[in-house]
Structure 1
């Protein structure tokens, strides 16, 4: 049995190592999957074509519209100037005296409105650099500040966030994007306060040491001149449409759950439970409305760059979903291997409470894969049904399973090999050595908050 367990651990370790080194997961996930299969003495080709590829394809079928539409929405918000207008308005309103808060809030509003994390980093960085320079705050604190606003509570904790990390659990638990709003909001407040205290503490330490913004940085944005930005209320209209539409179509008066006859859906489309697809349908409609609005608010500026922008968005969404789908395929093959039963027993045995066990499983796999969506998808594909059964037996709402899984995915996922972390550092022209300490502190904070919530709910 030891060799079977080692085969999985070695494959996971190699996947993490190669991802950290910048090699594409879409290529190496199947390679290391098959390595684990060979070492476990299982049939090679059937494991690849019937287990890996089937489950990867099912994931693409379920979530590709959201990946694609989310990428397009973010790109159109960028091209129209709406994202820049929102960031500029918040930074200007709060001023250099509250530079860190201004950047965090700008990132939070854009992320919660449905703009992808990568677009947020690109859109906010020029303003963050300008206001940090004006306030003489070290540039090395910018990545941690952006990470707090974009990679944490608005990504997976606040109810209704349209980010994919908040949508994936709906498929497994029959919930919607607004699951467990009280727990999610409490967690978001804890992360926001803790993150701000950490960043402000780091700023004060730099002031005491006489450290300023610094000189000789790379990737410095051009100084922002007196540009004309669109009216802020016009700029936030697409975000509002996504948020409001998502609520109305998922659990409001226009819920898509009532649009079709359940009998026809079951007979013609093999949809057993409409609730399992309602959240995806609601978000698809809402993102389409947001895209249309973002196009209309500044047609003149968007039309000349629309073709190249849509191409870039489509390519980005394809890479993102196929990377995640490869990780899902990896997880589904791993769960068929003999050694996984022992590993699963260790994770499940760490706590007899489904929320605590789920938080552990999602955090571990998100950390290993360096992907919030990938790690959570693997954990829920493998153990989601068991967690749901345990929760039902204990009288725990599936909404709590959803929220803890979602928040856990945004915990240890931001280890050094995480793609968003690497991209953020590249955008800002900084290195892991300069800025990762603050990102890691926020990562640890987020992880601790999730376990506090899981333990607190388990007590009551």
Structure 2
């Protein structure tokens, strides 16, 4: 019965999310519904003592990352830098390599710190024009963008400033560059498998005489031939974010030490800070601030035209993204405290004795259920990270490997049909789940396989 209560609560949340209702409202409703069915008298204590506590914990740690990431993505877009990078990359690869060009430009933007949602908006006009010129079916464009933006640069490649690569740092005392070789090999596996699949699909479409297609909606207007910033200037903010992220990851612990004590500076009554849990977060935050400033310096005339309205839009988007994920985090904390979850955890542990496989399966399942990589991973790590750490210690598994497995597993089954990024991508491209989700799901399967590929690499060769 306890397990059925959890399944009912999860199914309810999936249903309302798929229907488009806000999880900010329905995550607490779904969580407290499960508490009510378990013990009605515990509803209010669980709301105040578990749901709200965990929700606030998440916001405290990650809100600035969401906010700065959204602002950085917005200034990159309105400055014309994103268009310049896209146009330059497409020019280099040409229409014969249209799929590879789109994947590469999406990868460059996301690895440089631009929000996944911003990438979809920025790349789509160029992608549609390139697919039309190459006579590639438009229905394949969402999967192509998804491969470049939602997979290997989001959570596999070391140093990625995306939130999915930052969240594990506070649980495992690692940094965003954790397990660099595993991340690199895992990312290349996903990239190559995805490219091979998409080119196979392209070849089959050509053999069947299928072209770009007609009567599409949301076709981009012919505005992409405007004068764009020089590519060398456009790439600079991305380089700044990447280089500073790595440099600050090394410098922050050396400067502050293991702990920061406010009392040493005359500020009493404030808890000490454990720097190892904050290093990666601070490094990304400072890097994004300096990246934003660099865009403003080099493109002030373009940015100032509609700066207030555009930045307000970015802030609203960041608030919504943060609260969505934080609500899912609070939901997960409540579910994890219920008896049914303990039974599910024990079942997974008995089925998968290997701690890395256990971690991957748990996070993959929860990310799929919530339709959110960051939400599913946060739920799993908030409740299970101590178990993973103790089990890893027994077998001599470095925390860095736990980090990389968690990060890559979160980007597995998260892109099910109810995922917000997938819904946004389809809306932007003017396509439907029926037209394009089949190819997107293959990308989902490939990136899910990627995490088990790196577990195999570590187990057989000890690569970190």
Q: Per-residue displacement from partner, 1:98-154 (whole Å, max 9, x unpaired)?
A: 000000001000000000001000000000000100000000000000000000000
The partner residue of 1:257 within 235, 253, 258 is 253
Counterpart residue number, 2:217: 218
CA offsets 1:403-434 (integer angstroms, 9 cap, x no match): 01000111100000000000000000000000
User: Is this contact kept in 2: 1:356–1:455, CA < 8 A?
Assistant: no
Please tell me whether the aligned partners of residues 260 and 273 of structure 2 are also in contact (alpha carbons under 8 angstroms): no
Map 1:192-271 to 2 at 5 A.
Answer: 192-224=191-223, 226-251=225-250, 255-260=251-256, 262=258, 264-265=260-261, 269-271=270-272
Q: What residue in structure 1 maps to residue 402 of structure 2?
A: 401
Report the equivalent of 1:357: 358
Residue aligned with 1:211, SS? coil
Residue 262 of structure 1: CA displacement?
4.6
Q: Work out whether 1:15 is the aligned partner of 2:13.
A: yes
Question: Which residue number corresponds to residue 428 of structure 1?
Answer: 429
Number of positions where the alignment pairs a residue of Structure 1 with one of Structure 2: 455
Would the aligned equivalents of 2:137 and 2:210 in 1 still touch at CA under 8 Å?
A: yes
C-alpha contact 1:359 1:454 (8 A) present in aligned 2: no
Matched residue SS, 2:261 = helix
Q: 2: distance between equivalents of 1:394 and 1:197?
A: 36
Cα gap change, 1:30 to 1:218, in 2 (>3 Å): same
- Aligned residue for 1:305, secondary structure, equals helix
1:284 aligns with 285
2:375 aligned residue: 374
Which residue in 1 is equivalent to 2:101?
Answer: 102
1-structure distance, mates of 2:317, 2:247: 29
CA distance in 1, matches of 2:124, 2:163: 23
- Measure the CA separation in 1 of the matches of 2:302 and 2:402: 44
Per-residue deviation, 1:258: 2.6
> Is the contact made by 1:250 and 1:257 (CA closer than 8 Å) also made in structure 2?
yes
In the TM superposition, 1:2-401 aligns within 5 A as 3-41=1-39, 43-224=42-223, 226-251=225-250, 255-260=251-256, 262=258, 264-265=260-261, 269-271=270-272, 273-401=274-402
> Per-residue deviation at 1:347?
1.7
Unaligned runs of 5+ in 2: none
Q: Which moved more, 1:229-238 or 1:448-457?
A: 448-457
Could you tell me how far apart the structure 2 residues matched to 1:210 and 1:263 are?
64
Report the TM-score, using the length of structure 1 for normalisation. 0.97
Aligned residue for 1:396, secondary structure, equals coil
CA distance in 2, matches of 1:72, 1:164: 14
Contact conserved, 1:29 with 1:330, CA < 8 A, in 2? yes
Alpha-carbon distance, 1:263 to partner: 5.4
Distance 2:259 2:7 in 1: 45
Distance 1:259 1:28 in 2: 43
SS across alignment from 1:158: coil
